[in-house]
Structure 1
Amino acid sequence: MATAATRAKDSDRNDTCQILDAALADGQLSAEEHRQRVAAATTAVTLGDLRALVTDLQTTDAPVQLPTLKTGAGRPGRTGWGVLAAGAAVMLVLGIAIGWGIYAGPGQSPLSSAQDPGAKPDGVAPLVLTPPRQLQSLGGLTGLLAQTKQKFGDTTGYGLIIYSDYAILTRTDPNEPRQALRYTYRGGWGDPDTTSVSSDGRVVDLGKFNVEKITAVLHGAPETLGIKRNDINTVYLSIDPSKDTTAPRDSVTISIYVSGKFNNSGYIQLDPDGNQKEISYPS
């Protein structure tokens, strides 16, 4: 049978750390006491040293138990936890304590079987982000305008260009009225860069149009312009302040551009309600 003077194995040190973890969990030890005792357990030499660390604890419900020791003389100078702690080398304990804080975290000893805190179940439900990606559809346009309002508080700006999978929005610069901020959307509005403001530029509500009607015309634009779908290079939607002097000043003009692979490009211009204003067929 082992005695207090028997040399401790790593498995004995690990068992002691698990008992200390359990004692911390059920309130027998404070975090500081736990940290000190774990530091001492990792450098303990004999089973008596380890036993001294848990003698004053209730260990009936601990996940493991230390071996029963044969009564006899222990290791000289190691008669209790107080003496053991006082005799530990300060720098060694400090180094182990720092390592403990970095690698184990509160309530988890370095020698515990679950050393990686990132491997523990955290109970946090997955959050799947589903921003609109196909922007030239009813759901895509509606979602893009909703994301714009969520980001900026409104859908105003100098202009909005919408491609199939990204968009470009030009807004006022609150710190410099002589320039504008240009944002790019790719699953979310990124950080802006600066651009100049044209002499006739003005801010309007770029989301003030019939989304469903505009989407329908957008879907039929290649056929309207007589461009085969296999020949399409780019399709984009441009929303700009209206230049119609008879329309309300905050009105927008919607332009749908279709460019082909063989310089056969054209566009459709609409009012906010989706009524055609102009069709420019490929030449």
Structure 2
Amino acid sequence: MAKKEQVRARDHDRVEICAVLDAALSDGQLNAGEHATRTRSAMRAKFTTDLEGLVRDLQVPGELAGAAILSGDRAARPWWLPVAVLAAAAVLGGGVGFVARDEPAPSIAAAAEAESEPASLPNLLTTDGLAFFIDAYRREFGDTVIDTATVFPDFLLVQRLGQGIPRNFRFDTDGFDEMSVAVPSYANGRPIDLADIELTTLGAVLAGAPASVRLEQGEVEHLGFGFELIAPADAGPVIDIYVEDPAGSTGHLSVSFAGTPLEVFPAR
């Protein structure tokens, strides 16, 4: 039997799955920890099969049963169930600073057009790409404070508070576009400063992430910056690093903004 072709998930698909997860929390099918884990996975899912796997064992309310993401063939490989293992490694590194600029940030596409070159982004999953984004964010908003962010190689979803109101943006070659889709955040008013990320240390962690989760042939697929729902009130924000190999096996690890390993969820 031919392997089912993977279909890329849309932001709308992720939101529909989050609505199902919210309903499952409210009616007791999921506890708070399960809901938090599945919601994070939903907002960072790459394929529709990953989204379907997050709700396969749930009863779906009638008003949500017609969601487009649920209307197709739901037979797919299940999402991995992580087992927490404390990391046993420390990585040394130094911080990287950025120079603030007063002039407004032109979009990448506009800059490329001015130079008669194709619009392009550095890979946002690298330290150079993250430095590029943080600098662009500072120039766009005047600071480096966010509520949460999800990072893919060629685009990034970020939430920030504007006068106490969450605002959600997609960052890609066109710069920052405001979205109506919310990026789930558990910051509860606690600021997350991107300038606190030790980028050199994070680069070393990213390089070793596939081996850390027992997927030596894997690659980092996406990152998540934010607070954990069930973490203590005095806990700092974390960076979740998600890895996938060519066979579709996945694992992830969490590190502090200083690059200190916190937990590893290896492939099984």
State the TM-score, normalized to the length of structure 2. Answer: 0.49
State the TM-score, normalized to the length of structure 1. Answer: 0.46
Structure 1 or 2, whichever has the larger Rg, is: 1
